[in-house]
Every structure is written in C-alpha cells, then in structure tokens.
Amino acid sequence: MLELRPTCEHCNNALPPHSLDARICSYECTFCAACVEHVLNNVCPNCGGGFVPRPISTGRLIPRLMSCFRPLLKPYRLKNGST
C-alpha cells in the first residue's frame, strides 16, 4: 500500500492525493515537481534514487471499490445437478 504524504519533504508545499505535481522516489519519499527539477536535480536526497510522478489513481479507485460492497445475492442451481 502506497503511503500518500500530503506535503513536499523539502518545501512543505501541499501535495493532495490528486496533485499532478507530486513526485515520489522508489522509497516513496515525496517531493513537489519544482523541488525535484530545480533543487534536487531528480535525485532523492534521502536515498539517492530517481523520481517518478506519483500515481493519482489511488483516490479514484475508492468509489469503484465501494460499489462492490453492495449486497449481491444470486442463488443458482448447478446445471449438472440431480433433477
């Protein structure tokens, strides 16, 4: 499970889950795009790794998963059962 940090670790800029400016390294250190490009030169100061855009699909998945919790009752007979 990806931990979504709400702020940039360098400048404390707000990075909400749907933000396109969020960047994470392979160890999930979170920074904003401006810091990654202009301050960190795409190298994580914590672990030395590169950055990738943080996926924003995590928030969108929640409503889809919630719809699966609707009660679903479909009694059915086995086709090859005894008649």
The contact set with Zn ion (CB under 5 A) reads 8, 10-11, 13, 25, 27, 29, 32, 35, 44, 46-47
Please say which residue, 34 or 56, places its beta carbon nearer to Zn ion. Answer: 34
Distance CA 12, CA 53 (A): 17
CB of 4 to Zn ion, least distance (A): 15
Q: Kindly list the distances between the CA atom of residue 48 and the CA atoms of 18, 35, 82, in Å, as whole numbers in the listed order.
A: 25, 15, 66
Please say which residue, 50 or 59, places its beta carbon nearer to Zn ion. Answer: 50
CB of 68 to Zn ion, least distance (A): 34
Distance CA 82, CA 12 (A): 68
